[in-house]
Structure 1
Amino acid sequence: MFTSAPASICILRLSAIGDVCNTIASVQAIQKQWPETQITWITGKLEAQLLQAIDDIEVIVFDKKAGLDGYKSLWKQLNGREFDALLHMQYAIRASVATLGIKAKYKLGFSSDRSQDFQTLFTNVKVPSPKSLHVADGLMAFAHRIGVSQSELTWSLSYSDQDKAWAESKIQIDKPNLLLVPGASKAYKNWTAEGYVDVINHARDKGWNVILAGSPAKVEVDLTNDIQALLSEPCLNLVGESSIMQMLALIDKVDMVIAPDTGPAHMASAMKTPIIGLYAHHNPIRVGPYHYLMYAVSVYEEVIFAETGKTSQELSWRTRAKDEKAMNRITSDRVVTMFDQVVEDLYPQYQ
C-alpha cells in the first residue's frame, strides 16, 4: 500500500490489556521500518496506562463509559486531521462507530473470516488473514498490508526507575520468584482456589517464593482471599495494589508467571518472562501467550469436543466453550507437571 513512509497512521485498538499488548508488536514493527511516521493510537483509559511502556506514540483516550459524549470528545480532538491510513484493529461495534469521526484515505479492517459486528461496513481495505491462528499474527497482518516487511514479532516495553524499585522491593533475591495472577476479569475464566494452593505448595517445596497479584476487581480479590485462607502460610498479596506499569515491572523481575486468560499473561510474554497459561474456554493457539504457547495448560479441545462433537479444526476460528465450569477440568497435577517442565527447560539450577 505504501512504498515509502506514510506521514501519519491512526491505530484504533480500544481494549483489552492483552489485545493492546499484542497490538504493540505491530505498531513497533511500523516504527522500526518508518521511524518518521507519526502514529496516533486511540485506546481506552486503562489500556492507555500500558502504552506508557512504548515510545513516540500519540495516545488519545476514548472513554467508552461516557456514551455519546465519549465519541463527541474523540471526534473533537481529531477535528481537522486526516491520516494516511486508519488501522481499525478491533471489530467491536463501539470501535466501528468511532471510525465515523476519523478521516483517513484508507481504513483497514479484518477480512470477513475474522471480523464481526458489521466491521466490514466501516472499512475500505480488508486485511487478509494469515495462516497462523494467533491474534497477534492477525494484528501484524495490518502492518504487512500497508507495506511493512515480514519479520518475527518482537516487543520492546520499558518502565520507570520508580516502578523498577517498587517491583524489586516485592521479590526475594535469595530465591526464584513465581508470580501467580489467579484471577481474570470474567469469573468463568478462573481456575480453582484449591488448584492454585496445590501449585503454591509444590513451588514452595521446590524452594520458590510465591507472590499473588492482580487487579482490584471483586472477582479477583475474592478468589485471592479463598487461596490465602487455604494456605498454612499466606503469600505476599499484591492483588489490587499495583498500577499497570508496576505490574509490568514485577512481571519482568520474577522468574515465572502462572495466569489464566488475562492481560498479564500477554505482558509476561512480551517481557520474555516464562508464563504458564491456563485455558478452557478459548483456544490458546489463538489467544495464548505468544512466546510461550508450548507451556499452556489447556482443556479447550476436550471441552469443545464434549459440547459439539467436533475438534477446533472443524469449528469457527473464535469458537468459545460454553461450560461455565470448564476450568475445573484442569487438574493440579497437570499444572504442577508443567511447572516442573518449565524449571527443567529454563531453570535447571533450581531443580
Structure 2
Amino acid sequence: MKHPLPVRPAHIGVLRLSALGDVCNLVPTVRALQRQWPEARITWIIGKGEHSLLAGLSGVEFIVYDKSTGLAGMRELWRRLGDTRFDVLLHMQQALRASVLSLGLKADLRIGYDKARAKDAQHWFTHRQLAPHPQAHVLESFLDFARLLGVEDLSLDWSLPVPESAHKEAASFTSGAPYILMSPCANPRLRNFRNWSAEGYAAVVEHVWVQHGLKTVLTGGGSTQEREMGQRIAAQAQPGAVIDAIGESSLKGLLALIDEARAVIAPDSGPVHMANAMGTPTVGLFATTNPERAGPYCWRDFVVNRYPDAVRTYLHKDPDTLPWGQRVRHPDAMSLIHADDVIDRFEALLATARKQTEFPDET
C-alpha cells in the first residue's frame, strides 16, 4: 500500500547537499512549492558551499551540513532537528551519505527517485518514488518531486538573492567595462575530464575582444590547476583583453559577475547553471557529459555539443544505446571541441540576445 501524499503540507523538508549547479537547478522546484502552498514552511538541508551561494533565498530555512565533519556532523544535525518532524521529506540527493543522513530525520513521508534514476540504492530509504521519467534533464527531475505532490504551476522562477556587497565586489574587478565571463575549469575531481584547452579559450577571448570590444573576466576556484589555466589563457591574449579573477571572488561575487556579464562561456560546471538561473546568455561546452541531461536548461540550443562524437570515438558505441547520464571519462574528449565551434555558438547567442532586447516578449 502506497503512503498517502499530503494534501496541504505544513512543513516540507528538502534534502540536497550538493553541487552548485544542481542546487541552482533545484530552486525552481522550491519556488513552485512556495506558489502552491505559500504558508508552508520549507527547510532545506544543504552543503556548506552551496549554502553560501543560495543564502538569503526568500521563504527558505537552511540547515547546513558540512560533509567534511562526517558522522559527527550528522549527529549534530540530528540533534538540531530532533524536535522537527516533516510532513514530507524530498530526498533529492542520490548518494549513500545523504541517505544515511536522512535516517536521523523525522518525516511522515519520504519521497525519492524511481529505481531507474536512483543511485546507491536510494529507493531503500524512501516510502514513495517518483514516476518514471526517461531521459529527463536534471532540472526536470527535480520538478518531478513537485509533480508527484500535485503542484500545478511549474513555471520557472529563480529570483536568486544577490546583495549589494556582491555587486560592489564584481565592480571592483571590472570597473564598469562591458565583458563576457569565462569560467574555464570544472571541479578538479579525479577523472572529471571536463576542461577544454587554454589555447581554445584564448582564441575565443581574441575573437570577443577584436570583434566586439568586450573584455573577458576569468573566474574559478583557487586551485593550482585553475590558476595555471587562467595564466595560460591570459598569456596568449592581447593586453587589456583579460581580467583574471580566478580564485579571487566569493560565490555571491561570482553570481553578481555572472548577472552583469553579456554572456558566459564555461564547461559543464556550476557557473553555466548559475548563469542559467540569472538569465544570462550562456554557451556551455560539453563532450564528456550529455547536455540534454545536464546542460544550461534555458540555453541548450547554444551548447557546443560534442558528446555524441565523444561516445562514438572513445566508447565505440552508439549514443542512443547508452544509459541516460553515462559520462565519457577520457582525457581527450574535450579536444573534440574547436574554437570555431564556440565562436559560432557565441555569435548565435549574441544575435538572439540582441533580438530579445530589441523585441521583448510582450506576453
| TM-superposed deviation, 1:231 | 2.2
Aligned to 2:29: 26
| TM-superposed deviation, 1:223 | 1.0
Superposition TM-score, scaled by structure 2 size = 0.92
Aligned to 1:193: 198
Q: How many residues align?
A: 349
Matched ranges for 1:92-107 at <5 A: 92-107=95-110
Matched ranges for 1:275-286 at <5 A: 275-286=282-293
Whether the 8 Å CA contact 2:184–2:229 is kept in 1: the answer is yes
| TM-superposed deviation, 1:232 | 3.4
CA distance in 1, matches of 2:77, 2:131: 29
CA distance in 2, matches of 1:115, 1:251: 32
Matched ranges for 1:339-350 at <5 A: 339-347=346-354
CA distance in 1, matches of 2:12, 2:325: 28
Judge which range, 159-168 or 138-147, deviates more.
159-168
Matched ranges for 1:167-246 at <5 A: 167-171=170-174, 173=176, 176-186=178-188, 188-206=193-211, 207-233=213-239, 235-246=242-253
| TM-superposed deviation, 1:166 | 2.3
Judge which range, 197-206 or 2-11, deviates more.
2-11
Q: Which amino acid aligns with 1:147?
A: G
- Of all paired residues, the percent bearing the same amino acid is 39
Aligned to 1:129: 132
| TM-superposed deviation, 1:233 | 1.9
1:331 and 2:312 matched = no
Long gaps (5+) in structure 2: 358-363
CA distance in 1, matches of 2:304, 2:147: 31
Matched ranges for 1:64-143 at <5 A: 64-130=67-133, 133-143=136-146
CA distance in 2, matches of 1:171, 1:33: 40
SS at 1:215 equivalent: coil
CA distance in 2, matches of 1:148, 1:132: 21
| TM-superposed deviation, 1:91 | 0.8
Render the CA deviation track for 1:292-346: whole Å, top value 9, x for unaligned: 0001002110111223443332110121112122111111111111111112222
Long gaps (5+) in structure 1: none
Judge which range, 224-233 or 262-271, deviates more.
224-233
Whether the 8 Å CA contact 2:182–2:217 is kept in 1: the answer is yes
Q: Identify the match of residue 297 of structure 1 among 277, 291, 304.
A: 304
Whether the 8 Å CA contact 1:7–1:36 is kept in 2: the answer is yes
Q: Which amino acid aligns with 1:88?
A: H
Whether the 8 Å CA contact 1:214–1:220 is kept in 2: the answer is yes
SS at 2:21 equivalent: helix
Whether the 8 Å CA contact 2:183–2:219 is kept in 1: the answer is yes
Whether the 8 Å CA contact 2:136–2:293 is kept in 1: the answer is yes
Q: Which amino acid aligns with 1:163?
A: A
- Aligned-CA RMSD value: 1.8
Q: Which amino acid aligns with 2:279?
A: K
Q: Which amino acid aligns with 2:249?
A: S
Whether the 8 Å CA contact 1:129–1:138 is kept in 2: the answer is no
